[in-house]
Copies of this chain bind each other. A is one copy, B any other.
Amino acid sequence: DLAFGLIAGPCQLESLDHARMLAEKIAESCAATKTPFIFKGSYDKANRSSLGGQRGLGAEQGLEILSKIRDEFGCPVLTDVHETHHCAMAAQAVDILQIPAFLCRQTDLLLAAGETGKAINIKKGQFLAPWDMDNVAAKVASTGNENIMLCDRGTSFGYNTLVSDFRGLPRMAQTGYPVCFDATHSVQQPGGNGNSSGGDRTMVPPLARAAVAVGTACLFIETHEDPDNAPSDGPNMIRIEDLGPLLGTLHAIDSVVKGF
């Protein structure tokens, strides 16, 4: 098995300069462990807890930023899509289209994404079992696009809480598709702050270690230079300066587990 790859970036794109700054720091953080990374950024937060939450830069500006990051850093870029008619447009700018967890059962979105021929990262709905993703992946695969990844971002556990069931990673891997663990949204407390989601970023490192120890092809970690003032998912994002040391530990565990 290969060493894990990393999907990293801010929750939402803020500006080209900001994306550039973060991409540079992510690249530096990945250097020691030679971790391949995919730059992630959202141009539209389409499902905020409340209307007061910032939506983002919008498609035009956001996709242009991602496109530039790809060119400048030579890394693949990823963004999430929310309606069928976004897929073709976003596919022109990015390498990987991401299906949000809430939308992972929307057949038309899965088909439209699949039909772009881009790689598709599908987040497991918080309301689904790991084995329910077999049928979800099959919807994308029906388009002839088998370039699929399945991503765990936590499962509903009572109200305003998620739990990470690590039995889900090997179960989803039975599909034959690579599996990713989203260490950022797994520590979210959905709606936990009333008008926004809470979370506990101190749990990102232990859960990321757990995922790598169980065995994962990819990690998803959102990061920011000042998470507490980030426009979304601040409570869950780790500080950019903590990323490099975390990757060191994760890489060493990965090496034990995969025997490389």
Contact = CB atoms under 8 A, between A and B. Distances in A.
Interface in A95-122: 102-103, 105-108
Interface stretch (A57-65, A135-143, A236-244): A135-143
A154 to B, nearest CB: 10
A79 interface: no
A46 interface: yes
Interface in A212-229: 212-215
A217 to B, nearest CB: 14
A46 B131 CA distance: 20
A55 interface: yes
B105 A47 contact: yes
Nearest to A84: B83
A198 interface: no
A210 to B, nearest CB: 4
Contact of A207 (B47, B135, B166, B257): B166
Interface residues of A, number: 62
A106 B46 CA distance: 6
A126 interface: yes
B107 A206 contact: no
A127 B129 contact: no
A230 interface: no
A198 to B, nearest CB: 12
A74 interface: no
9 tightest A-B contacts by CB?
A: A158-B158, A213-B213, A129-B159, A210-B210, A156-B156, A50-B135, A209-B213, A47-B105, A132-B191
Given A132-B190, A135-B195, 16 more contacts: A48-B105, A51-B138, A83-B83, A102-B106, A127-B127, A127-B156, A127-B190, A128-B190, A132-B191, A156-B156, A163-B163, A164-B165, A166-B166, A167-B203, A206-B213, A209-B213
